[in-house]
Structure 1
């Protein structure tokens, strides 16, 4: 490599470091901006569908935005009420779980197994099991307090979308290839967000229905958590399942808990590994290594909300790289191409 190439790559690296540092410093604003852009991508697809059915543009715009706002407010209210009730009953749940552990220890001792009861009870801090999800929901609640700003941002982005397309056509009037690349990028982004949001919704919906069937407390709360954590690969579904599984031990029996775990695994595997790739397409897959480091990076930059946005942001970058011939190799490095 020549000195010029080395200096060029170090310049790019320095730019990336400066950009990431700037994003971290302005994380509160960046979170609102990213959420507004991502949600707008989904809503714009629905608006385009309604316009294709000969609905007036302004009616489609107002109806979709109003429905989204109403559903979000209802879900936020239900989650808030359920979470407050859950936290008030948390000490009672902890005592019941400790009693179950004591019974399990007594059962083991009846078969001659020597168990240090005090050591195990001290080591098992049940507050930490529930606390993981509680802290994460609390962090989500901080950004819900900025919900109005996100809605305003979505409204302005949707209102400017058509004029923005015209501006791009003027800018790239003599560069048709760049314009085609931008259209390809826009199409793939909308496809990804629509499919991912739909599969996440159905994951939460089926889990909530399952919990209602088994009579587990706060099924809507755990369903919403499952929907949100579906955006966090691998560990997300595990974290989302912890509180519901522990509650099933308290309110139901061991057989019900085992069945519930099996159904959790079945729902997540079916939707994430079968349904989602079928509609998403293999070309929109990310390498597990890239997913892992994206969770760490965006979690560090944007906090807890960054973990939910990590894969969407990384996928956006991958699609952007894939839309241009000169950067297609970066997209290939980020993709989930299995060795033969």
Structure 2
């Protein structure tokens, strides 16, 4: 009886313990991480540049601090140039598309609706001529309302771009903090790492080292998995768009495959609007073909993603899919990738006997 009571007590204590850890992790990821994110990214970048810095310092016989300054400068210069070029092009394309929504409605959607209504009107007239007047009035209200809605959507999207532009100063402050912090951390990385290490016990440091090694390997595995998924998506899109007869199918497939990595937008962010626009332009076969390709790509990805990512992480596809869904809904992009990796880490630590979590 005493043993049964002790087991219940231990179960309750462990449940509360893990619940508190999960709550702290959620609060940290959802709120605190936004405040310290520049310094976290700075530390990660300094960590990535640590080995090249030491190798070049030994090879060129230059002080490591000098090498770290040059490498950090080259890293941010390259990244800054790439993002600037992509950002300027992306903003110009999105702005032109949003501004052109009313024109697309007037030149494509409205004529399509009018032609469709003419066919419906003729059919209704044969059935009951008295209904035509009612149908005309309802259709005119619908067209006017839809036109206003398109204009309002266009204005709201332009307003969203403006609000995004207004948040740039805060974003730029974080970027500047990250760049400055990276220089200081890279120059004194070993000193800072040793200081942090001294704050933990020997046992804690051993666990931290295992976690660091596993996370480094797991991140590589996750990146490799998504590159594989992106490659499969690229092949499907290339073949599908080529069969439909889309010009520059391979280039378009490559761009969509890169866009597909984004969890919120994905392939549908491009292919669904593309399907709608081609439909209203009267290219019904092309529109249907794009829709079929999109459906095939989506089905294949939803089948393969949990299996590939879960298999690489040592998780069952159902567990991987569930963790990705829960993580994306709770935290967003970080949760989408972070939850499967966290579960994989806990499983690894449990399998190696570092912690006693799973039976």
Q: Place the TM-score, normalised by the shorter chain, in its bin.
A: 0.5 to 0.7
Kept in 1: contact 2:38–2:174 (CA 8 A): yes
Which residue of 2 is the match for residue 338 of structure 1?
none
Distance 2:322 2:269 in 1: 20
Where does residue 185 of structure 1 map in the other structure?
A: 215
Distance of aligned partners of 1:319 and 1:291 in 2 relative to their CA distance in 1, 3 Å threshold: same
Residue 98 of structure 2 is aligned to residue 87 of structure 1? yes
Give the Cα–Cα distance (whole angstroms) in 2 for the partners of residues 12 and 22 of structure 1.
15
Q: In the alignment, is residue 322 of structure 1 matched against residue 347 of structure 2? A: yes
Counterparts of residues 190-209 of structure 1 (less than 5 Å): 190-193=220-223, 195-196=225-226
> What residue number does 1:292 align with?
325
- Secondary structure of 1:287's counterpart equals helix
Moved more, 113-122 or 72-81: 113-122
Greater Rg, structure 1 or structure 2? 2
Work out whether 1:78 is the aligned partner of 2:105. no
Q: Shift in Å at residue 72 of structure 1?
A: 1.2
**CA contact under 8 A between 1:102 and 1:117: conserved in structure 2?**
no
Alignment of 1:156 with 2:171, yes or no, is no
Deviation at 1:78, TM superposition (A): 0.9
- Counterparts of 1:99 and 1:321 in 2: how far apart (Å)? 59
Given that 1:129 and 1:243 are in contact with CA atoms closer than 8 Å, whether structure 2 keeps it comes out as: no
Residue 65 (structure 1) shift: 3.8
Q: How many residue pairs end up in the alignment?
A: 313
What displacement does 1:243 show?
Answer: 2.6
- The Cα of 1:117 is off from its aligned counterpart by 4.1
Q: How far apart, CA to CA, are the structure 2 residues paired with 1:138 and 1:314? A: 33
Q: Where do residues 168-247 of structure 1 align in structure 2 (5 Å cutoff)? A: 179-193=209-223, 195-196=225-226, 214=246, 223=255, 227=258, 230-232=261-263, 236-247=266-277
Counterpart for residue 7 of structure 1: 13
CA–CA distance in structure 1, aligned partners of residues 255 and 233 of structure 2:
8
Alignment TM-score, normalising by the size of structure 1: 0.62
Deviation of the 1:109 alpha carbon: 5.6
CA shift at 1:311, angstroms?
A: 0.9
Higher relative contact order (CA 8 A, sep 6+): 1
C-alpha distance in 1 between matches for 2:232 and 2:32: 33
Which whole-Å CA distance do the structure 2 matches of 1:282 and 1:230 have between them? Answer: 18
Which range is displaced more, 242-251 or 117-126? 117-126
Partner residue in 1 for 2:111 = 99
Where structure 1 has 5 or more consecutive residues not aligned to the other structure, the ranges are: 299-306, 333-340
Q: Does 1:249 align with 2:279?
A: yes
Q: Is the 8 A contact 1:195 1:276 kept in 2?
A: no
Distance 2:157 2:231 in 1: 19
